[in-house]
Amino acid sequence: MNKISSVLFALAAEFEKYQRVDMAELRPYVPGEDLKGVSISEADLKAGSPKPGDMVARNPKNYDDTWLVAKEYFEDNFDLAEADH
């Protein structure tokens, strides 16, 4: 690692685990739909997204803030909330 890389690495923050404290709002991706305005990560694009089974999430406090959630991540991390929430 060169001197610049060492400095940049030292400045990076460590990842920590956080638990969600609020509900998430998601809907299924519909194949062929226009995803203008929906953020899709480079990793998801490389993995073939958008694809059937992916979900579109939105910030409940800003409906213009939307992003794609890969099917595998969604299935591993989300359950449908009870109707009274």
Ranges of each domain in the chain: 24-80
Give the residue, 4 or 59, on which the prediction is more confident: 59
Task: Give the model's confidence band at 77: pLDDT under 50 very low, under 70 low, under 90 confident, else very high.
Answer: very high
Mean pLDDT for the stretch of residues 13-33:
91
Mean pLDDT of the residues in the chain: 89
Q: Residue 1 pLDDT more than 70?
A: no
Tell me the C-alpha distance between 62 and 70, whole Å: 21
Asked whether the beta carbons of 67 and 38 are under 8 A apart, the reply is: yes
pLDDT of residue 26: 97
N-to-C CA span, the chain: 50
Strand duo 38-39 + 55-59: pairing: unpaired
Q: Give me 64's structure tokens.
A: 């213009």
Mean pLDDT for the stretch of residues 7-35:
86
